[in-house]
Amino acid sequence: MQFQEKVWEECKKIPSGKVSTYGEIARKLGSGARAVGNALNKSPGMPSVPCHRIIRSDGKVGGFAFGTENKIKILRKEGRNIKDGKVIF
């Protein structure tokens, strides 16, 4: 299995309403956060890979192929509170 597929598989494990960080995924796979972001940028997209559930370690929502505002809308729809571009825990 290629690295990007391993990243996608980790994303699939995150249930609706939950988030993980690029760094957390990277640690699980023995990689760097940037490599995780690059792999997610090549994902087949939703709903097969819920890459919108991956956020930055500082709580900011981070990038998204369909735009940050769409990522925020989806996360809110899943029950996450977001203020000033950050996920509230």
| Start-to-end C-alpha separation, the chain | 33
Catalytic residue from among 11, 39, 51, 54 = 51
Annotated active-site residue 51? The verdict is: yes
Q: What is the dihedral of CA 35, 61, 43, 70, to 10 degrees?
A: -160
Task: Judge whether 54 and 74 are in contact, CB under 8 Å.
Answer: no
Contacts of 28 (CB under 8 A, 6+ apart): 10
Q: Which residues are catalytic?
A: 51
